[in-house]
Amino acid sequence: MAIQPLAEAFPMGDFLAEELEERGWTEADFAVIMGRPTRFVEELISGERELTRESAELVGAALGTSAELWLNLQDTYLAWRQSHDEKTQASLAAVRERARHRELADLRKAQ
């Protein structure tokens, strides 16, 4: 069964902003709950700061979810973004080609 590529993914910060809005919490409120500066929350939401395992644990604890939920949202978005970046895809294609040539060279040596 083939896995369908995502049509579009959204940054983790979009989901976090939406969750805060649903709860009626400001970024400052959330920062106080997590014991972090407001700028920390602003950077998570804007995407200026990548979510770490530690910060995902804080977000999850504050919202009653798992850290994995937030890490998976971030990872899904980053993978989607990478899959739509022409420069990255060209670089990956070049790596695959070099690996294929190396495997062929190794096969020739083995004969």
Residue ranges of domains in the chain, CATH in brackets:
12-84 (1.10.260.40)
pTM for the structure as a whole: 0.76
Instruction: For residue range 51-74, list pLDDT tens digits in order.
Output: 999 999 999 999 999 999 999 999
Nearest to 42 by CA among 57, 52, 29: 29
Task: Identify the pLDDT of residue 15.
Answer: 97
User: Among all chains, which residue has been given the structure tokens 């644990």?
Assistant: 57
69-98 average pLDDT score: 87
